[in-house]
Structure 1
Amino acid sequence: MAEDSQRNFRSVYYEKVGFRGVEEKKSLEILLKDDRLGILPPHQETHLVVMVHRREQFYDVHHALQVMRFINDTTPQTEAFLHMHQLEMGKLSRSSLYTLEPEDELFLAIANTIEEMADDDVDCYWLTKHFVHHLDTKFRDSQAAMQKGFEHYLNLEDSRLMAHLKVCNALEKLPYDLWFRKCFAGCLPASSLQRVWDKLVSGSCKILVFVAVEIMLTFKMKMTTLNKSNTMNEFLEKIPEDNTDQIVNKAIDLWHKHCGIPAHSV
């Protein structure tokens, strides 16, 4: 869970609701003073009461969907979370022809990852709901800039690999949507993503750029043996999990190398 040098983003949430089993880390002390996900109000004395209401709200909405026969005991939990979110947002559709919108796919991707991190369904729902809102309000228009940043820093780190991608016409077809819009949910395992998402909660979406760059650098031998964008994407959309922690460590090093050490990461 918590790394020696980095603080797990969930620790902020758990401390806010009175659980202090996670080791205190100075690196992200600012998050203790400012709940950047907006899950709880600023007045700490109200947190336990608010969480009681949040728990009741969760079960009320979940029960309502069961009564409506929209979900049942066999419905995957993250799918139930999506329908709960849609109901609360006034976007629940009864049409049998309904297809998932991009925002729904994002919610499910984030929920599936947080489900592996959280020990409680209520926690998982509220963390997902507010994390998705955080992404939507803070980084909605950042994807194009992140793609350009990825190309810039990859070229600085390995111009030959960059040239190979251009020759193969693969540069524009890389899985940017998975990497940047979904924050690598479904691409990297939850255990490795925790440190990356710490940075996102702290306000830096640029860490995603350096994770993407480091993935390419780590697997550059593989990439240079592939000459078609579709085969590259098949590999990059589900990379081997045996060294993803190392990829994240090196990505953070790259982030510091090119951007300095932001105040919230010291």
Structure 2
Amino acid sequence: MDDGRNFRSIYYEKVGCRSVEEKKSLEILLKENPVFKAKLLQFLKLFSVPSVHRGLLYNLALDVYPIYMESKEFVMQQKKDTYEDLTRALEVMRYIDDRTPKCRVFYAMYLLETKKLNSSVNLYRDSVFSLLAEVILEGLEVDPVESYFITKSFYRFSEDISNEVPKLKQQTCFYLEKEEEEIYRHLSSRNIIDKLPFDFWYPSIFSSILDRLALIRIFDKVASGSISIVVFVFVVICSYTRFQLKNPKIDTEEVIKIIESYAVEDDSQKSEVIINKSIDLWQKYCMKK
């Protein structure tokens, strides 16, 4: 088949039961020993992930668990020891206490682990790391140790996105022009696109804007290595705010406000719509053989 799936998968999709076949396939993959990571990453890329399996899938695909499951207990004990050493040190240094939000704790742990923690750090300032941690903590049913190490994996993806921002901006212009030519021409004519904070929106995977429980489905695609999906999230938000963006007197600050306020975190319905359309658009352009 052109999309790499068998006839039965196509049949299930047409009759609305596609997830039945996918779930069976995923359960088989998760039981393999050693773990075949390439297949797990391919599943994340091609299919919707059942929420009940997402935590285990992330742990295996992102190297939190070892590929040989007989080593899992030893490896996770090492990670647990690291986790406890970091939190204990932060408590002694009075950077955190029982009231510190977990996402801020994770951020402090990462800074300490990477030797970047100092007295000038403000843990309550929204950082990309803490924003990603919020999505992981809300979107996955895993323990805190696993959540921390999964967040670290996504932060590495975030750094990859940061390095690719110039290329992703070019893709943004290309796909925005294809999907919303009038908006693209209007924003370009006012030199607005080059001034938008893609260097924050993209590495944070819009986690300061979209509902976290809905956003985890975009994280699925990023975890597979498909970091360009962030481009389509932006294009879709522009599409749904087209009438506001067409304001002839609009400036950069107004565009930022429109983008960042369209689907605020507590509006899960708008976020779901944006994410569904973003995945559809990404598949339309990036899943062609």
TM-score bin (small chain): 0.7 to 0.9
Contact 2:133 2:147 in 1 (8 A): yes
**Residue 165 (structure 2) aligns with:** 143
Which stretch shifts more, 151-160 or 251-260? 251-260
Distance 1:195 1:33 in 2: 12
Does residue 75 of structure 2 align to residue 50 of structure 1?
yes
Distance 1:118 1:34 in 2: 10
- Would the alpha carbon gap of residues 26 and 99 (structure 1) be closer, same or farther in structure 2, given more than 3 Å must change? closer
The structural deviation recorded for 1:49 is: 2.7
Contact 1:110 1:182 in 2 (8 A): yes
Contact 2:210 2:271 in 1 (8 A): yes
Distance 2:276 2:22 in 1: 14
Structure 2 residue aligned with 1:124, among 125, 131, 147? 147
The structural deviation recorded for 1:76 is: 2.4
Paired residue type of 2:276: N
The structural deviation recorded for 1:57 is: 2.3
The structural deviation recorded for 1:7 is: 8.3
Does residue 206 of structure 2 align to residue 184 of structure 1?
yes
The structural deviation recorded for 1:144 is: 0.7
The structural deviation recorded for 1:78 is: 1.7
Does residue 185 of structure 2 align to residue 163 of structure 1?
yes
Distance 1:197 1:145 in 2: 20
Paired residue type of 2:98: D
**Residue 66 (structure 2) aligns with:** 41
Aligned-residue CA RMSD in angstroms? Answer: 3.4
Structure 2 residue aligned with 1:92, among 109, 117, 132? 117
Contact 2:241 2:258 in 1 (8 A): no
**Residue 43 (structure 2) aligns with:** 28
The structural deviation recorded for 1:26 is: 11
Asked which structure has the greater RCO (Cα within 8 Å, sep 6+), the reply is 1
**Residue 219 (structure 1) aligns with:** 241
Structure 1 residue aligned with 2:106, among 81, 85, 97? 81
Distance 2:220 2:22 in 1: 7
Which aligned pairs between 1:7-26 and structure 2 lie closer than 5 A? Answer: none
Distance 2:116 2:20 in 1: 41
**Residue 239 (structure 1) aligns with:** 262
Distance 1:229 1:5 in 2: 46
Contact 2:138 2:212 in 1 (8 A): yes
Distance 1:29 1:253 in 2: 15
Contact 1:55 1:122 in 2 (8 A): yes
**Residue 196 (structure 2) aligns with:** 174
- Would the alpha carbon gap of residues 142 and 5 (structure 1) be closer, same or farther in structure 2, given more than 3 Å must change? farther
The structural deviation recorded for 1:146 is: 0.6
How many pairs are equivalent? Answer: 244
**Unaligned stretches of 5+ residues in structure 2:** 1-17, 32-39, 46-55
Contact 1:83 1:92 in 2 (8 A): yes
Distance 2:20 2:240 in 1: 22
Paired residue type of 2:74: V
Paired residue type of 1:160: E
Structure 1 residue aligned with 2:128, among 75, 90, 106? 106
Q: Deviations over 1:10-40 (max 9, x none)?
A: x99xx69xxxxxxxx9971799699442222
Identity of aligned residues (%): 30
- Would the alpha carbon gap of residues 44 and 143 (structure 1) be closer, same or farther in structure 2, given more than 3 Å must change? same
Distance 2:230 2:217 in 1: 11
- Would the alpha carbon gap of residues 152 and 197 (structure 1) be closer, same or farther in structure 2, given more than 3 Å must change? same
Structure 1 residue aligned with 2:226, among 174, 194, 204? 204
Contact 1:223 1:232 in 2 (8 A): yes
**Unaligned stretches of 5+ residues in structure 1:** 17-24
Contact 2:59 2:146 in 1 (8 A): no
Distance 2:148 2:98 in 1: 17
- Would the alpha carbon gap of residues 33 and 107 (structure 1) be closer, same or farther in structure 2, given more than 3 Å must change? closer
Q: Deviations over 1:60-104 (max 9, x none)?
A: 2211211222222222222221111122222221x3x3467x9x8
